[in-house]
Amino acid sequence: MFKRIGVIGSGAMGRGIAQLFATAGVEVLLHDSRSEAIDQALAYNRETLERAAAKGRLSPEQLEATLARLRPAASLAELADCDLLIEAIVENLEAKQALFRELEALVAADAVLATNTSSLSVTRIASGCRHPERVAGFHFFNPVPLMKIVEVVRGERTDPAVIRRLAALAEQAGHFPASTPDTPGFLVNHAGRAYGTEALRILAEGVATPAQIDRILRDSLGFRMGPFELLDLIGLDVTQAVMESVYQQFYQDPRYTPSYLVAPRLAAGLLGRKSGEGFYRYVDGQIQHEA
Ligand code: NAI
């Protein structure tokens, strides 16, 4: 089993992944290139865990032990002793390749490198590494502690033992590991494209508003969230990168054409929950009304 996990990127996903494994009994170090992002993430985790304890889901002892297992790492060098590194940085191939090259120079030869990428090829991320066999996809969903599925993605050169170890770790944390090949969007973001892209097309055609589309899809088809609520949760910056990546990897198959509505909204900073406004306006993380 893994003894110490280093999580790189303390945004929406990194903080959730860190919390999940600290709760499951593993020591976790959390890093980000922006120190304030680490502080915010740890404060968020503390608040979430304290709320869980107040509701009786964690005993006071479990709360203290979990918080003690969750520590900041001001520099990458502090992750040298980790036997599993999970990156959840920006969805950009060059940035992820550069990070893995840097990590390879730091960590032990048998340490596993995992990427939480939503849509980039795991094989391509691993291609810059000296040991691509230790690289795999470990694709969680937002919010990580509540979304119990994780895709464990086999790159072309991933060692099957790495896949087995990650799957066992996911199970230890109470998650269901779904093993997937390294195809564009893996499974969830391949199937999920249609939900978001078609909803954006309906909006672009002026057929209905985001709130109307959300309500009808949520209430009639049984999805937990409507497509625009989901886009706001994921973040339009992440969504744009995923849409582009899947479209290019399928050689511009028109089925995956990104919506022209996204780029201008992105330029205007309407990212969703994380910027306080997307298709909806948010106050303290709660939807106020349609933007
Ligand atoms: P985010 O924007 O909330 O957080 C990313 C964090 O990474 C930021 O705090 C940023 O400062 C940090 N960062 C960027 N470059 C870095 C570097 N080189 N070294 C260290 N830190 C760096 O993004 P989010 O939503 O957490 O996404 C992260 C990854 O997870 C992306 O690959 C995304 O595709 C994937 N993902 C996102 C999901 C979502 O619903 N938002 C779901 C599943 C996967």
What is the average pLDDT value for the chain, to the nearest integer? 96
Report the complex ipTM. Answer: 0.99
Q: Please tell me the predicted confidence (pLDDT) of residue 167.
A: 98
Give the Å distance between the CA of 53 and the centre of ligand 1. Answer: 27
The answer to whether 156 and 123 have CB atoms below 8 angstroms apart is: yes
Residue 290 has pLDDT above 80, yes or no: no
Which residue among 10, 45, 121, 189 is the active-site one? 189
**What is the structure's pLDDT at 284?**
85
* Stretch 56-67: mean pLDDT: 96
Is the beta carbon of 8 within 6 A of some atom in ligand 1? yes
Give the per-residue pLDDT at 282: 95
The answer to whether the CB of 118 is under 6 A from ligand 1 is: yes
- Segment 151-163 shows an average pLDDT of 98
pLDDT band at 288 (very low <50, low <70, confident <90, very high): confident
Percent of the chain whose pLDDT exceeds 90: 95
Each residue's pLDDT tens digit, 205-230: 999 999 999 999 999 989 999 999 99
Annotated active-site residue in 10, 45, 118, 245: 118
Task: Quote the pLDDT of residue 113.
Answer: 98
Q: What is the pTM of this model?
A: 0.94
From ligand 1's centre to the CA of 9, what distance in Å? 6
Which domains, and CATH codes, for the chain? 4-181 (3.40.50.720), 192-280 (1.10.1040.50)
